[in-house]
Amino acid sequence: QSALTQPRSVSGSPGQSVTISCTGTSSDVGGYNYVSWYQQHPGKAPKLMIYDVSKRPSGVPDRFSGSKSGNTASLTISGLQAEDEADYYCCSYAGSYTFRVFGGGTKLTVL
């Protein structure tokens, strides 16, 4: 099962906005509203940032938002802060055989 496609890296300056894309197929991202996004700092466990395409768990700043169009989901981080520098992974439900698939991860650098 191929991973969802994410850009290897993105960057932005403090205060700017960045968007990370996550491209799949109609069998995963496009077929279900079960896309989630995870933030992982070096040496730490992943942390849920967005679920069900665009919902934010309690405690996640509203600078983080998610959306989906067709087979591509997106994570947008506005008002970039230094602590946002991390790896970000998307994940989608992919049906009752594969069940779920992760993206390859995107390294966000805050310049």
Partner 1 sequence: EVQLVQSGAEVKKPGESLKISCKGSGYSFTSYWIGWVRQMPGKGLEWMGIIYPGDSDTRYSPSFQGQVTISADKSISTAYLQWSSLKASDTAMYYCARLPSAMANFDYWGQGTLVTVSS
Considering only 22, 23, 32, 74, the residue that binds partner 1 (CB under 8 A) is 32
C-alpha–C-alpha distance, residues 42 and 25, integer Å: 29
The residue within the footprint of partner 1, chosen from 104, 109, 110, 111 (CB under 8 A), is 104
Taking the complex as a whole, the smallest distance from the CB of residue 18 to partner 1 amounts, in Å, to 19
97 belongs to the binding site for partner 1 (CB under 8 A): yes
Sequence-separated (6 or more) residues with CB below 8 Å from residue 46: 38, 39, 40, 89
Q: Look at the block and give the residue holding tokens 């069998």.
A: 27
Hey, how many other C-beta atoms are within 10 angstroms of the C-beta on 79? Answer: 12
Handedness of CA 95, 97, 99, 103 (dihedral sign): negative
User: C-beta of 14: minimal distance to partner 1 in Å?
Assistant: 26
Window 33 to 72, contacts with partner 1 (CB under 8 A)? 34, 36, 38, 40, 45-48, 51-52, 57
Interface residues with partner 1 (CB under 8 A)? 1, 3, 32, 34, 36, 38, 40, 45-48, 51-52, 57, 89, 91, 93, 97-105
